[in-house]
C-alpha cells in the first residue's frame, strides 16, 4: 500500500524510483561503498530495502539506531559482530547461507540460529568469511548500514575504527559491498568525514546516489494512485496540496494517512506541518550542536538574504567577523546535507515546508 508509514520493502508498494533502482545496481557493480543521500523522509530506506529484496545479492541490514540502543550507547566490535550474527540467523535460511557458514570455525549453527564466538572471531574475520562465501557463490554480499549516523558511536574514535575496517574491506574483499545511508547531517558530517584528510576513507572512490523529491506531476500521480488504491473518492484538488508540501514522499504519505483518518484536507495538512515542525526542531538542534551559525544561515536564506555577500554582511552586522573560507565551508556543508541548493549566485532552502517554518 502506498499510504503506509513504515519504509517500503516490496516493489509493488514502491511508487516509481525505476531510475534510482537501476542506478543503484550500477553503482554497486563499480563501487565497494555506495552512500545514499537525500532529505529526511524522501525515501532512502525504502529504495534500498526494495532494491535488496528484489535483487539476488546476499544482503544484511544493520540499523545503526538499533545497534546503538542495544549496546547502551557505546558500540563495540563485539556488539557489531553479535548483531551481524543475529542478522545472519534471520536471513541465512532464505538466502541459503547456513550450510556454508556451518563449516566456519567460531560459528555455531543450531537449527536456524547462528552464533558467533567473538573470542575466536573478529569482525574482519567475519567479513573475510562472508567475502569467501559470496565469492564461492559468484555473488556479492551487501551490508546495508541504515541510520549510519549512529555509527559515530562505534569505538572510541568517532567511528574511525569502523571506517578503517571499511577501508580494509574496500582494498581486500571484492565481493563485499557497503551501502550507507541515514540522516545526512550525521552520516556525512560526523561519521564518514569524507573531506577530512585523515579519514580512513579519504581518497577512495565512493559511489553517491541522491534520492530526490518527486516532481510536481509525480506527486500528483502519487496521491491519485494512493487514494485510488484504498478506494477513497476525494473532493479536493490534490494539486493544491502538492503546492503546499512539495514532493517529499514521506510527507505525502502522512497527508494521505491523516486525510483518510480525518476526512478533512485542512486538518490533514495541519498535521503534516505539525509533524514536520517536530522533525525540523530536532534537526536544527543537531546542527546547532555543530555550530550556532548553521541555523542562523538557514533563517537568513529563508528570509531572502541569500547571496554569499549578503550573508557575509549580515554576520558582520551582528558582530560576527566570520572568515571567507569558514562561511564558504559552512554553506558547502549545508549544501551537501541538502538543506540548501545553489542556483546561479543565490542559495535557497530545498524543502519548502522547512522554508515556511524557517521564515515564521
Ligand atoms: P528516508 O529513509 O529517506 O527517511 P523512508 O524510506 O523511511 O525515507 O520513507 C519515508 C516514508 O515514505 C515512509 O512512509 C515510506 O513508506 C514512504 N515511501 C518512501 N518511498 C516511497 C515510494 N517510492 N513509494 C511510496 N512510498 C514511499
Ligand atoms: Mg531511512
Q: Please count the structural domains in the chain.
A: 3
Q: Check whether residue 295 and residue 170 sit in a common domain.
A: no
Q: Check whether residue 121 and residue 48 sit in a common domain.
A: yes
Q: Check whether residue 192 and residue 228 sit in a common domain.
A: no
The ligand with the least distance to the CA atom of 20 is: 1
Residue 192 lies in a domain: yes
Beta bridge partners of 110: 113
Q: What letter would DSSP give residue 194?
A: T
At residue 280's C-alpha, the angle toward residues 277 and 284, to 5°, is 140
For residue 260, how many C-alpha atoms fall within 13 Å in the half-sphere facing its CB? 16
3-state helix, strand, coil in the chain (%, to 5): 55, 15, 30
Helix (H, G, I), strand (E, B) or coil at 154: strand
pLDDT digits (tens, 9 = 90+) for 230-276: 999 999 999 999 999 989 999 999 999 999 999 999 999 999 999 99
Q: Check whether residue 339 and residue 194 sit in a common domain.
A: no
The ligand with the least distance to the CA atom of 147 is: 2
Sole residue written with cell 540502543: 69
Residue 4 lies in a domain: no
Residue 10 lies in a domain: no
Q: pTM for the complete prediction?
A: 0.88
Q: Identify which of 16, 184, 185, 250 to mutate to test ligand 1's pocket (most ligand atoms within 8 A of the CB).
A: 250
Residue 25 lies in a domain: yes
Q: How far is the CA of 49 from the centre of ligand 2 (A)?
A: 10
pLDDT digits (tens, 9 = 90+) for 5-32: 999 999 999 999 999 999 999 999 999 9
Neighbours of 195 (CB within 10 A): 13
Beta bridge partners of 96: none
At 136 the pLDDT is 86
Contact status, residue 74 vs residue 157, Cβ threshold 8 Å: no
**239, 261, 290 - which closes a domain:** 290
Q: Check whether residue 163 and residue 42 sit in a common domain.
A: yes
Q: Of ligand 1's atoms, which has the minimum distance to the CA of residue 2?
A: 25
- Ligand 1 pocket by C-beta < 6 Å: which residues? 2, 4-8, 14-17, 38, 40-46, 249-250, 253
What are the distances in angstroms from CA 307 to CA 11, 48, 59, 299, 303?
42, 36, 45, 13, 11
Q: Check whether residue 103 and residue 138 sit in a common domain.
A: yes
Q: Check whether residue 135 and residue 184 sit in a common domain.
A: yes
Residue 307 lies in a domain: yes
Helix (H, G, I), strand (E, B) or coil at 58: strand
At residue 298's C-alpha, the angle toward residues 296 and 303, to 5°, is 95
**241, 258, 290 - which closes a domain:** 290
Q: Check whether residue 104 and residue 174 sit in a common domain.
A: yes
Q: What letter would DSSP give residue 345?
A: T
> How would you list the strands of the sheet with 141-146, edge to edge?
58-63, 141-146, 176-181, 33-37, 207-210
Q: Check whether residue 63 and residue 198 sit in a common domain.
A: yes
Q: Check whether residue 166 and residue 142 sit in a common domain.
A: yes
Cα of 356 vs its chain's centroid, Å: 24
Looking up residue 280, the CATH number of its domain turns out to be 1.10.8.60
Q: Identify which of 41, 211, 224, 279 to mutate to test ligand 1's pocket (most ligand atoms within 8 A of the CB).
A: 41
Q: How far is the CA of 312 from the centre of ligand 2 (A)?
A: 34
Residue 12 lies in a domain: no
Local confidence pLDDT in tens for the 360 residues of the chain:
999 999 999 999 999 999 999 999 999 999 999 999 888 899 999 999 999 999 989 899 999 999 998 988 889 988 898 888 888 877 776 666 666 666 666 777 776 666 776 666 678 888 888 898 889 889 899 999 999 988 989 999 889 999 999 999 999 999 999 999 987 767 776 788 877 888 889 888 999 999 999 999 999 999 999 999 999 999 999 999 999 998 999 999 999 999 999 999 999 999 999 999 998 898 899 889 889 999 999 999 999 999 999 999 999 999 999 999 999 999 988 887 778 989 888 999 988 888 989 988
Domain assignment of residue 338, given as a range: 291-359
At 102 the pLDDT is 67
Residue 9 lies in a domain: no
Looking up residue 159, the CATH number of its domain turns out to be 3.40.50.300
Q: Check whether residue 126 and residue 182 sit in a common domain.
A: yes
Q: Check whether residue 304 and residue 286 sit in a common domain.
A: no
**249, 267, 290 - which closes a domain:** 290
What are the distances in angstroms from CA 186 to CA 158, 190, 291, 308?
11, 5, 13, 25
Looking up residue 346, the CATH number of its domain turns out to be 1.10.10.10
Residue 68 lies in a domain: yes
Prediction ipTM score: 0.99
Q: Mention every residue, 6+ apart, whose C-beta is less than 8 A from residue 238.
A: 220, 223, 224
Neighbours of 316 (CB within 10 A): 11
Amino acid at each position: 500500500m502506498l499510504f503506509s508509514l513504515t519504509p517500503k520493502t516490496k516493489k509493488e508498494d514502491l511508487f516509481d524510483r525505476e531510475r534510482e533502482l537501476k542506478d543503484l545496481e550500477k553503482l554497486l557493480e563499480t563501487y565497494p561503498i555506495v552512500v545514499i543521500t537525500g532529505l529526511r523522509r524522501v525515501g532512502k530506506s525504502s529504495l534500498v530495502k526494495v532494491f535488496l529484496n528484489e535483487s539476488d545479492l546476499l544482503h544484511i541490514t544493520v540499523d545503526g539506531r538499533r545497534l546503538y540502543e542495544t549496546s547502551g550507547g557505546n558500540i563495540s566490535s563485539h556488539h557489531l559482530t553479535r548483531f551481524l550474527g543475529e542478522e545472519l540467523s534471520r536471513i541465512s535460511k532464505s538466502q541459503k547461507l547456513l550450510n556454508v557458514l556451518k563449516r566456519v570455525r567460531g560459528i555455531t549453527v543450531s537449527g536456524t540460529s547462528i552464533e558467533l564466538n567473538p573470542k575466536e572471531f573478529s569482525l574482519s574475520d567475519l567479513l573475510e568469511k562472508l567475502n569467501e562465501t559470496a565469492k564461492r557463490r559468484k555473488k556479492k554480499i551487501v551490508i546495508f548500514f541504515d541510520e549510519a549516523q549512529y555509527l559515530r558511536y562505534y569505538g572510541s574514535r568517532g567511528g574511525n575504527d569502523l571506517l578503517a575496517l571499511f577501508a580494509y574491506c574496500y582494498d581486500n574483499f571484492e565481493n563485499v559491498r557497503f551501502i550507507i545511508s541515514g540522516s545526512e547531517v550525521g552520516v556525512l558530517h560526523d561519521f564518514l568525514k569524507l573531506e577530512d584528510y585523515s579519514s580512513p576513507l579519504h581518497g577512495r572512490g565512493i559511489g553517491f546516489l541522491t534520492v530526490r523529491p518527486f516532481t510536481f506531476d509525480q506527486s500528483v500521480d502519487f496521491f491519485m494512485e494512493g487514494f485510488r488504491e484504498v478506494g477513497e473518492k476525494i473532493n479536493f484538488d490534490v494539486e493544491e496540496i502538492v503546492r503546499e508540501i512539495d514532493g517529499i514522499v514521506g510527507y505525502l504519505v502522512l497527508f494521505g494517512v491523516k486525510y483518510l483518518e480525518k476526512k478533512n484536507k485542512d486538518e490533514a495538512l495541519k498535521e503534516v506541518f505539525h509533524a514536520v515542525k517536530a522533525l525540523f526542531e530536532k534537526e536544527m538542534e543537531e546542527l546547532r550542536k555543530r555550530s550556532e551559525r548553521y541555523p542562523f544561515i538557514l533563517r537568513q536564506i529563508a528570509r531572502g538574504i541569500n547571496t554569499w555577500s549578503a550573508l557575509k554582511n549580515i554576520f558582520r552586522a551582528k558582530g560576527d567577523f566570520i572568515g571567507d573560507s569558514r562561511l564558504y565551508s559552512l554553506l558547502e556543508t549545508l549544501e551537501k546535507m541538502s538543506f540548501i541548493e545553489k542556483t546561479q549566485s543565490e542559495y535557497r532552502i530545498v524543502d519548502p515546508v522547512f522554508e515556511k517554518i524557517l521564515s515564521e
